[in-house]
A = this chain, B = another copy of it.
Amino acid sequence: MKNSTWFFNDVHVLANAAVAGPFEGQGELAGSFDMIYQDIYMGQPTWEKAERKMLSDAINLAVQKAGKEVALGGVELCIAGDLLNQNISASFVGRELSCPFIGVYGACSTAMLSLALASLVVSSGACKSAVAGASSHNCTSEKQYRYPTEYGSQKPGTAQWTVTGAGACVVGQHLEGISIRSATIGEVVDFGISNPLDMGSAMAPAAVQVIKQHFLDTGLKVEDYDLIATGDLGKIGHKIARDLLNEEGYPVADSFVDCGLMIYSDQQQTFAGGSGCASSAIVTYGYLLDKLKCGALKKLLVVGTGALLSPISYQQGETIPAIAHAVSFEA
C-alpha cells in the first residue's frame, strides 16, 4: 500500500511572493508579480548571482509579508531548491537566513516539492512556520543544460523557454486564509523520451501519474477542482497529459491548464512555452493564490513537473526520467 498523499488539517499560507525577470514582465501575468527586474543581471556581476538575488528577494518578501506571524522569531525553517549544479542558488540564499535549511532537488517540480515538505513539517508540529522557495534563470539554465548562451543556437518548436524568476511561500498553523489540504508525492516515471529539447513529452506521464494517484488517494474528482495547473508541460506535454488523462477516465477540459502556457503573451517567442522551477513558482505564488484570495477560485491543484535529466545522463545515452508533485489549495 502506497501512501502517496499527505493530508493536512491546519496548514495555511501565511504569505507568498513572486519576482520575475524583464521578459516575464512583458508577459500576460506581469501585474501579478511583486517585483519585475529591469535587467537580466538584476544588478549582479554574473547570472548565477542574479538568480540567487531573485530567490533571496522572493523569500525575504514573503517573510516580510507574513509579518508578525513569523517576524517575532524569524523564519524557523527554509526548504528550497533550484536547477543549478549543487543547488547553489538555494544554498547561498540559505547562508543569509540564519535558520535551519533543507535543500531539495525535484528539477522544475521543486516549488511544489518544497511546499509539500514545508507543509508536512508545520503539520507535524515540528515548526510553527516554514518558508518554501524555488528559482530559475533563463541564462543560467541555457548555459548549464544546453549550449553556451552566446552561440544563440537554433531550437526546435518542442523546446521550452526557461522562466526567469523566483517564488516563495510561508506556511504556518493559522486560522484563516488559504489552506493547504494535501500534497501528493510523485514517482519517478520514464516513458523512454530521450530528446532534451522535448521535456514536455518526457514530463507528461509523470504529471498524469501523480494526478491519478491524487484522485485515488483523496477520493476527489476532476470537477472538485476549479483549476488543475501543471507546472511547465508546455504546448506539447500539456496536450499529451490531457489526452492521457481523458483516456484513463479523468475528463479534464478547460479547467486543466499549464503555468508555462500562462506566463507569456502570444507575441513572445517561447517555442512550446515556459519551463523551469520558476514557471510553477511565480504563477502559483504570484497569480493563482491571488485568485484564491479574491474568491475567483476556491479549490486549486498545482502539479509541479520536473525532468530529472542531467547533461551527463543524456550524453551517456539515457532517457529522461520525470517526476511531479501535487499540492492542493483551498480558499
Contact = CB atoms under 8 A, between A and B. Distances in A.
A148 to B, nearest CB: 14
Most buried by B among A91, A99, A120, A190: A91
Contact of A2 (B3, B74, B102, B103): B74
Interface string A264-289: 00000000000000000000000000
Interface string A177-195: 0000000011111100000
A311 B86 CA distance: 9
Give the oligomeric copy count.
2
A76 interface: yes
B127 A124 contact: no
A100 interface: yes
Contact of A117 (B4, B73, B117, B311): B117
Given A2-B73, A318-B92, A104 B103 contact: yes
B101 A188 contact: yes
A244 interface: no
Nearest to A129: B3
Given A2-B74, A311-B85, A46 B316 contact: yes
A88 interface: yes
A159 interface: no
Contacts of A77: 3, 185
A45 B123 CA distance: 45
A309 interface: yes
B120 A84 contact: no
A88 B3 contact: no
Interface residues of A, number: 61
Nearest to A316: B46
Interface string A105-143: 111000001000100110110111000000000000000
A234 interface: no
A188 B104 CA distance: 14
A98 B106 CA distance: 16
B104 A105 contact: yes
A38 interface: no
Contacts of A128: 3
A46 to B, nearest CB: 6
A188 B124 contact: no
A21 interface: no
A97 B84 CA distance: 25
Interface in A1-58: 1-4, 6, 45-46, 48-49
Interface string A73-93: 110110001011111100110
